[in-house]
């Protein structure tokens, strides 16, 4: 809509660009040129170009100078975010022999990683009975998400581990949560899905699948 407003020479008082790194894309570059008395650009993943005259956020003619920034290290040092920790999980499943086997292999890997993550956080917690593992899984595309959700392996893991809440959300697949699947994503359905996740207790466990949940700026505390 910002691009359309710019093309129609509409002048606005205030423009706020959330996930502003998207404005360097060809599709949204014109949004930066929208006539505004004030413009603010917010991003955690600043996108720069080799040249200061390019479409990157280092072009001060387009984005002006930086008002405020804070590095992950600074945030770690004052306790605002946790230091990243990587643990590698090896599974006992063989490499899939064909595309039909791939979703089951992916699901097996995800649950193996989840159970290892659960073991690690409970092992490092002072109150292991009151902490649940919560994991978000970035899926490469809509077709893969659908294949995962239709996988027999996923169904079997859900049967074996009923304490794990399973959810998925994407524009094409729709919304899935604990066995209930609805096609289409409107604001009300998205709000209800996020409320279900936000209302989980500390000792609840969940796995959330998404295609571009982070890119859409959906924030789920504690996950």
List pLDDT tens digits, range 120-152.
888 888 889 888 899 989 888 888 888 899 888
30: buried, middle or exposed (CB in 10 Å: 19+, 13-18, 0-12)?
Answer: middle
- pLDDT at 5 > cutoff 90: yes
- At residue 3, the pLDDT reads 92
Task: Name the pairing type of β-strands 164-170 and 174-177.
Answer: antiparallel
17: buried, middle or exposed (CB in 10 Å: 19+, 13-18, 0-12)?
Answer: buried
Q: State the average pLDDT over residues 203-216.
A: 82
Q: Give the SS3 label for residue 174.
A: strand
Choose the weakest-confidence range: 130-134, 155-159, 219-223: 219-223
Give residue 173's Cα distance to chain centre.
16
- At residue 95, the pLDDT reads 59
What are the residues facing 181 on neighbouring strands? 176
pTM over 0.85: no
Burial 107-144, CB ≥16 within 10 A → b, else e:
bbebbbbbbbbbeeeeeeeeeeeebbbbbbbebeeeee
- At residue 93, the pLDDT reads 63
pLDDT-derived band at 43 (thresholds 50, 70, 90) equals very high
Q: State the average pLDDT over residues 159-181.
A: 89
pLDDT-derived band at 64 (thresholds 50, 70, 90) equals very high
> What CA–CA distance (Å, rounded) separates 215 from 200?
23
pLDDT-derived band at 21 (thresholds 50, 70, 90) equals very high
Q: Give the SS3 label for residue 46.
A: coil
> What CA–CA distance (Å, rounded) separates 196 from 175?
12
- pLDDT at 222 > cutoff 80: no
- At residue 186, the pLDDT reads 83
- pLDDT at 58 > cutoff 90: yes
Q: State the average pLDDT over residues 75-82.
A: 86
- pLDDT at 180 > cutoff 70: yes
With beta carbons less than 8 A apart as the criterion, state whether 151 and 193 touch: no
Could you tell me which residues come within 8 angstroms of residue 176 by beta carbon, excluding any fewer than 6 positions away? 149, 166, 167, 168, 169, 182, 209
What are the residues facing 165 on neighbouring strands? 206
Burial 182-217, CB ≥16 within 10 A → b, else e:
eeebeeeeeeebbebbeebeeebbbbbbbbebeeee
- At residue 98, the pLDDT reads 55
- At residue 8, the pLDDT reads 96
| Residue matched to tokens 């791939």 | 102
**Strand ranges inside the chain, DSSP E:** 12-17, 36-41, 134-138, 164-170, 174-177, 180-182, 205-210
pLDDT-derived band at 97 (thresholds 50, 70, 90) equals low
Q: Give the SS3 label for residue 210.
A: strand
Q: State the average pLDDT over residues 161-169.
A: 90
- At residue 67, the pLDDT reads 95
């Amino acid at each position: 809509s910002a691009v359309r407003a710019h093309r129609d020479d509409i002048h606005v008082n205030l423009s706020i660009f959330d996930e502003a790194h998207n404005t360097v894309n060809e599709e949204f570059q014109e949004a930066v040129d929208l006539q505004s008395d004030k413009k603010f650009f917010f991003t955690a993943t600043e996108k720069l170009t080799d040249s200061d005259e390019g479409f990157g956020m280092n072009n001060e003619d387009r984005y002006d100078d930086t008002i405020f920034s804070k590095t992950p290290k600074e945030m770690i040092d004052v306790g605002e975010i946790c230091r990243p920790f990587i643990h590698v999980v090896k599974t006992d499943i063989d490499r899939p022999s064909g595309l039909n086997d791939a979703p089951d292999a992916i699901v097996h890997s995800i649950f193996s990683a989840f159970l290892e993550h659960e073991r690690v956080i409970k092992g490092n917690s002072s109150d292991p009975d009151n902490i649940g593992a919560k994991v978000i899984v970035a899926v490469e595309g809509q077709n893969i998400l659908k294949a995962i959700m239709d996988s027999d392996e996923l169904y079997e893991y859900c049967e074996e581990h009923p304490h794990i809440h399973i959810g998925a959300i994407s524009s094409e697949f729709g919304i899935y949560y604990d066995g209930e699947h609805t096609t289409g994503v409107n604001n009300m359905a998205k709000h209800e899905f996020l409320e279900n996740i936000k209302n989980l207790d500390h000792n609840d466990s969940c796995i959330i699948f998404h295609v571009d949940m982070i890119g859409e700026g959906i924030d789920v505390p504690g996950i």
